[in-house]
Amino acid sequence: MLLRADLHIHSTFSDGRASPSEILYIAGEKGLDVISITDHDTFAGSLIAHRYQSKIGGLPLVIIGVEVRCVEGDVLVYCEKEIDFPRRIDLLLEKAHVESCLVVPAHPYDIVRLGIGDLIFNYKEWDAIEVWNASSTKGANLKAIKAAQLLGKPGLANSDAHIPEEIGTSYTYIEVDELSQGSIMEAIRKGKVKPVYRSRPFNSVIKRALWSVKHLVRGFMKKT
Ligand SMILES: [Zn+2]
């Protein structure tokens, strides 16, 4: 069966506006079969969504994930459980693979969002590459597509949603035999994926910018 997946979404556990349960509801309304909440440096939102989904059943399924800020740049990691990762990519890759997790560089050529850039070629162990991020520029995404081709790695397309309107703006078709986190991760490893390249609608770009400013101001007020 072919599943529609958006594997890069932020919740209230980092800088996203929607809670994990709201994200699940909206993703279901938008026809997504699989999501991953990948908050910055915390599995918390993802674990809550996973627990909630296991209780209510149905779709979308939740892949447990996180976006780790390494010294070299951001990487997405998908695991069956919460794991504490080192912030150096070589060490992270090693630990992630011992734990059977997937490691995917996030928006590698997006300089605003701390992509790792050409360092992508220093590592051969990526499980896939985020070749399309709906929040990045087309130029950055085209470079990521080229890098995935040169490295011979599967490509994922994600929204990197921070507000509800952005959920599912880009997504990946994943072909699986069975509806489970394990078989979805295995299908990604084997490259049974087809990324769908879409950009965000203009009104969500403005809403996202307003949300980011609000979030920054809130963070600043908390510190002072
Ligand atoms: Zn992100």
pTM as predicted: 0.93
For the cut 70, the answer to whether the pLDDT of residue 201 exceeds it is yes
- Side-by-side strand order, sheet with 102-105: 64-69, 74-79, 102-105
pLDDT average, residue stretch 50-64: 94
Question: How much is the pLDDT for 17?
Answer: 94
Q: Is the pLDDT of residue 219 over 90?
A: no
Alpha helices in the chain (DSSP H): 20-29, 44-56, 89-98, 138-151, 181-189, 202-223
- Asked if the model's pLDDT at residue 14 lies above 70, the reply is yes
Mean pLDDT of 197-214: 82
Distance 38 CA to ligand 1 centre (A): 7
Distance 39 CA to ligand 1 centre (A): 7
Predicted pLDDT of residue 224: 64
The CA distance from 216 to 193, in Å, is 35
3-state secondary structure 4-67: EEEEEECCCCCCCCCCHHHHHHHHHHCCCCEEEECCECCCHHHHHHHHHHHHHCCCCEECEEEE
CATH entry, 2-223, from 3.20.20.140, 3.40.50.1000, 3.40.50.670, 3.40.50.1360: 3.20.20.140
Is the bond preceding 105 in cis, omega lying within 30 degrees of 0?
no
**C-alpha 196 – ligand 1 centre gap (Å):** 18
| C-beta separation of 33 from 60 below 8 A | yes
CA 139 – CA 107 distance, rounded (Å): 11
Q: Which residues surround ligand 1, an ion (CB under 5 A)?
A: 67, 160
Task: Tell me how far the alpha carbon of residue 177 lies from the centroid of ligand 1, in angstroms.
Answer: 29
Contact 132, 104 (CB under 8 A): no
What's the 182 CA to ligand 1 centre distance in angstroms? Answer: 23
pLDDT above 70 as % of the chain: 99
Q: Are strands 74-79 and 64-69 parallel, antiparallel or unpaired?
A: antiparallel
Is 19 in contact with 52 (CB distance < 8 Å)?
Answer: no
* Each residue's pLDDT tens digit, 25-42: 999 999 999 999 999 999
pLDDT tens digits along 118-177: 999 999 999 999 999 999 999 999 999 999 999 999 999 999 999 999 999 999 999 999
Give the pLDDT mean for 65-78.
Answer: 97
* Mean pLDDT to the nearest integer, 165-190: 96
Mean pLDDT of 9-21: 96
**Ligand 1 center from residue 183 Cα (angstroms):** 24
What is the Cα–Cα distance from 120 to 128, expressed in whole angstroms?
A: 11
Centre of ligand 1 from the C-alpha of residue 8, in Å? 6
Q: How far is the CA of 44 from the centre of ligand 1 (A)?
A: 15
- Is residue 213 very low, low, confident or very high in pLDDT (cuts 50, 70, 90)? confident
